[in-house]
Structure 1
Amino acid sequence: MSSLSPNAFTLHGGCDCKSIRYPISIPELSARLILPHEDPTGAEVRSPEIFLEHCDKCRRVSGALLQAWLSCPQEWVEWGTTSAEKPPTFTRLNTADLTSSQPGNLPIINYASSERIIRSFCGKCGTNLLYMREHQSKENPVPMVDIVLGSLDGESLERQGVRPDRHFY
C-alpha cells in the first residue's frame, strides 16, 4: 500500500515543452475518496491510486511495455495551457473542459482510444498526459482522471509514497 503523507499536499507536472502544466491538489487523508475496492490485505484504498497498467491499449499508446498512472478525482487537477498566439496566453481549465477542447484552440490533442475513453497528449511535443472515462462506473460515480505518472515533475516524483503499489492487467 502506498505510504503517501496523510497531510494535504500538491504534486506538479506537465508536458516536456511546458505548454501544458498541472497541479494535483491532494487533500488530507480523511477527505480523500474511498475507492470501491480493497488492497490485497483487505484495507480500504483511498485516492490517489498509483499503479502500473499492462493492457494492450496502454502499451501501444505509451510505446512502453507498461504504463504508470496516478488516478484521482478530476476536481483535484487544474490544467494550464499556453496558446500558440503571439504573445502567448495562459488558460486554466478543468479536466472535462481540457478533454473536450477542439483541435487548434489549445496545445492539447484528445484521442478517443475506445468507446467512452479519452486520452490526451500535448500537440506540440507529444507527451502522453491522461486517460479519462467519459462516464463513471456505478461503483464509483465520482469523475476520475488517470494522469501519466512520468509527466510529474522530478520533485513530485521524489516525494515519499509517489510510486506504484499495484499492477492491473
Structure 2
Amino acid sequence: MATPLTTTLHGSCYCKRNTYTITPGPFEFAPGDPYKDFGPPPYVYYDHCSDCRKLQSSLLLGWIRAPRSWYTHTTHPRSTSETDQEIFKLLVSSSSSPSSPSSSDITGPTRNFCGFCGTHLLFLGSSCRRDGWVEIPLGSLDDGSLEMLEGMGLKPDFHTWWRSAIGWVKRDLVEGRAKGEGKCWRGEVEEGVEGEGLEAVPEGFRE
C-alpha cells in the first residue's frame, strides 16, 4: 500500500529556530488502528474540536497526521544560551494549568511550541502515542510544501469533530464548496447543513 506522499515536506516556526521534515518511508499500522480503513498515510484534514479551536485561537484548523518515524525535527539556536528545550518547548495539555514536564514518562496529550515566536508545531494525543503517529498543524508547513499537497492529492478531504463546529462556519463550508468533496466526522449531519457529498463517518478516530 503506497503512500500518496512522493516527496519530503518541509515546515518551520515563524522565527525559523525550529524546522522539520516529513519524509515518506516504510510504515505499519498498529493493531486495531482505525486509520487503517482510510488507506495509506499521511492524512490531511480540517478540525472543528472546540479545545483545539481555543488552544490555537483559530476558527478552522488544518492538520497533517503522519507516522512518527517520518517526522524529523531540528532546532537552530541563535546563541549559546538558547537550549533545545527552550526552542522546542513542550507543554502537557491541561485546561487547569498547562505545565512543562520534568519527566519523559508522559502518557497524556502534549503540544510543542517555539519558545521564542510561539508557533504551535506538534501535537501528541494518547492515540498518537499508542499507535505511532504525530499530528502537525498544517499552517506550519512552508508555502512550497503546502502548494505541493494538491498535486499529490493531499488537500484536506474530511472534517473531524463536525458536531463541535460553529453553526455558521458549517453552513458556509457546505454552501460555499463544490458538491461531492469532503466528509463529516463525528456525528450526524445536522438539519440545515446537509448537502451532497457530506458523509457521516463512525466515531472513535480522534480523541
Question: Match of 1:152?
Answer: 141
Rounded Cα–Cα distance in structure 1 between residues aligned with 2:57 and 2:160: 17
When residues 46 and 106 of structure 1 are mapped into structure 2, their CA distance, relative to the original with a 3 A threshold, is same
Indicate if the aligned counterparts of 2:93 and 2:110 stay in contact, CA closer than 8 A: yes
Rounded Cα–Cα distance in structure 1 between residues aligned with 2:63 and 2:22: 13
Question: Match of 2:70?
Answer: 76
Rounded Cα–Cα distance in structure 2 between residues aligned with 1:49 and 1:11: 13
SS where residue 59 of structure 1 aligns? Answer: helix
| Superposition misfits of 4+ residues, deviation over 6 angstroms | none
The within-5 A match list for 1:16-95 is 16-27=14-25, 31-33=26-28, 36-37=34-35, 44-86=38-80
Question: Match of 1:112?
Answer: 92
> Gaps spanning 5+ residues in structure 1: where?
89-102
Indicate if the aligned counterparts of 1:58 and 1:66 stay in contact, CA closer than 8 A: no
When residues 130 and 104 of structure 1 are mapped into structure 2, their CA distance, relative to the original with a 3 A threshold, is closer
When residues 165 and 32 of structure 1 are mapped into structure 2, their CA distance, relative to the original with a 3 A threshold, is farther
Q: Percent identity?
A: 33
The structure that has the greater radius of gyration is 2
Residue identity matched to 2:9: L
> 1:24 Cα deviation (Å)?
0.4
> Gaps spanning 5+ residues in structure 2: where?
95-106, 162-207
Which is richer in strand?
A: 1
Residue identity matched to 1:154: D
**Once the two structures are superposed, what CA deviation does each residue of 1:125-147 show, in whole Å capped at 9, x if it has no partner?**
111111102x447xx94311101
Rounded Cα–Cα distance in structure 1 between residues aligned with 2:145 and 2:88: 22
Question: Match of 2:174?
Answer: none
> 1:87 Cα deviation (Å)?
8.9
Q: TM-score, normalised by structure 2?
A: 0.60
When residues 110 and 154 of structure 1 are mapped into structure 2, their CA distance, relative to the original with a 3 A threshold, is same
Question: Match of 1:166?
Answer: 158
Rounded Cα–Cα distance in structure 1 between residues aligned with 2:3 and 2:42: 11
SS where residue 9 of structure 1 aligns? Answer: coil
Structure with greater contact order relative to length (CA < 8 Å, sep ≥ 6): 1
